[in-house]
Structure 1
Amino acid sequence: MILFPAIDLKDGQCVRLKLGDMAEATVYNPDPAAQAKAFEDQGFEWLHVVDLNGAFAGESVNGAAVEAILKATKNPVQLGGGIRTLDHIENWLSKGLARVILGTVAVRNPALVIEACEKFPGKVAVGIDAKGGKVAVEGWAAASELGVIELAKKFEGAGVAAIIYTDIDRDGVLAGINWPSTLALADAVSIPVIASGGLASIEDIRRMTMPDAKKLEGAISGRALYDGRIDPQEALAVLRAAA
């Protein structure tokens, strides 16, 4: 069970949004590379990075910050936001990313995701961001009519490394992970699922160790780590003890 600390990039800085609203950004560290190294030093073994500007623009915007993060940490890094073509994917993987996260393109062009999985086995994850049970795209700015499980099932057997499932209604507001929806998704597909959005306290970490949640690959934490609501050493110790 992996706890992924999150670095969300806006205008080259490490921020957290509230409910996915770019106007509701709190800057936590102007130096994302230093933040990546700090997470490594705290004992985390993975890093989850999102190019927020890129998600809206449809192309990499915070590329320099991502490259600085890759140089600063030995930990594997997964990146989402604005990755929409095979060229984008190949470019980022060549720079040392462990895996790319495809979100909008998974809705708009699922065939590209399947092609990417064939070309880059084990390196492609799908980000499914949901609001009211429906999948959102374009940096959460637009809604689709697709249901979460309906989209996820399109990638069964394709070789997707993981699905990162975010409940937008809980993201950045410390409301707790949407466990019923997350576990329902994990039950519906064989692809590993990573929970995202709302992780609020050590209770959520303990919930990750319950038998029904052990099917998950892990969960992502952002604001709760930055605000000190979760102590990294305590959280990692809880997960290690349950392994």
Structure 2
Amino acid sequence: MIIPSIDLLDGKVVRLYKGNYNNKKLYNSCPFELVKKYEKAGVKCLHLVDLSGAKNFLNRQISLISQIVSSTNMNIQVGGGVRTIKDVDNLFLAGVKKVVIGSMAVTNKIELKNIFQYYSSNMLVLAIDIIIDKKNKSKNVLINGWKSSTSLTLECLIDFYSDFGLKYVLCTDISRDGTLIGPNIDLYKEISNKFKLVNFQASGGVSSLKDIICLKYSGVKNIIIGKALLENKFTILEAINVSKKNNTLFRC
């Protein structure tokens, strides 16, 4: 499934380059107009990123998110600045269908374990943002809006939370995010093959319809697309249509 992404910083639509807040591009698009555009095209699920909340959890844009959710019938999943079970509660009260949790998976495992036990795993997405070590190929996890490195790997986190019913993982190779240089197809093939019970959402680098086709056959269940749509590399209808076609003869 194609999931458009809208990144929100201080109420405005932006895109960061490799997660760098000092290297951002502001778009003139109104978030509500984008939501209507995607819904009209037949989009079933939308991904919202609260960049203000990710940078400073005290600045989470709950009011704006609630207004966006109320304006559409699409299922909304939201990430950014989720640090406590209260944050999760507030997002569900705002009407979102899935909460995307990242840093807390590293900084507060006990709290997140309790959240998995309290809420259905169908309502939670574990966001794992990684940078791949060029020497040993380890998939190292970054947190706090990609500002802090950790000693944990993607595989370690998935193994840990699988014991609590983990079903959905949004995996981003941050070296690709916001770059339009293409997604890390080999990464998604590897993790989809290794963790067959996990529904992966691919994020980062999509720039062409060919990228969508290659991701479709990598094993991921959902493809999150942000900048390519804002930059008019292709339309949302083209993305949806190519994802539905049988392109098995296409060479990736």
TM-score (normalizing by structure 2):
0.90
Among candidates 224, 231, 234, match of residue 227 of structure 1: 231
Deviation at 1:158, TM superposition (A): 1.7
Match of 1:202 in 2: 209
Match of 2:200 in 1: 193
Match of 2:115 in 1: 116
In the alignment, structure 1 segments of 5+ residues that lack a partner are: none
Q: How does 1:91-130 map to 2 (within 5 A)?
A: 91-121=90-120, 122-130=122-130
Match of 2:177 in 1: 171
1:83 and 1:5 map into 2 onto residues whose CA distance is 20
Contact 2:62 2:94 in 1 (8 A): no
2:95 and 2:167 map into 1 onto residues whose CA distance is 17
Contact 2:185 2:215 in 1 (8 A): no
2:206 and 2:41 map into 1 onto residues whose CA distance is 18
1:109 and 1:188 map into 2 onto residues whose CA distance is 26
1:169 and 1:208 map into 2 onto residues whose CA distance is 17
Partner letter of residue 197 of structure 1?
Answer: G
Deviation at 1:18, TM superposition (A): 0.7
Residue by residue over 1:162-201, the C-alpha shift from the partner in whole angstroms, topping out at 9 and shown as x without a partner, is: 1000011010011111111122222222221111011110
2:156 corresponds to 1:139? no
Partner letter of residue 3 of structure 1?
Answer: I
In the alignment, structure 2 segments of 5+ residues that lack a partner are: 133-138, 248-252
Q: How does 1:27-106 map to 2 (within 5 A)?
A: 27-29=26-28, 31-59=30-58, 61-106=60-105
Partner letter of residue 147 of structure 1?
Answer: T
Partner letter of residue 126 of structure 1?
Answer: L
Match of 1:160 in 2: 166
Match of 2:18 in 1: 19
2:198 and 2:240 map into 1 onto residues whose CA distance is 24
- CA RMSD between the two structures: 1.6
Deviation at 1:146, TM superposition (A): 0.9
Deviation at 1:59, TM superposition (A): 4.2
1:60 and 1:89 map into 2 onto residues whose CA distance is 15
1:64 and 1:91 map into 2 onto residues whose CA distance is 10
Deviation at 1:9, TM superposition (A): 0.6
Instruction: Say if 1:71 and 1:19 are closer, same or farther in 2 by CA, change over 3 A.
Output: same
Worse-matched range after superposition: 157-166 or 91-100: 157-166
Deviation at 1:29, TM superposition (A): 3.7
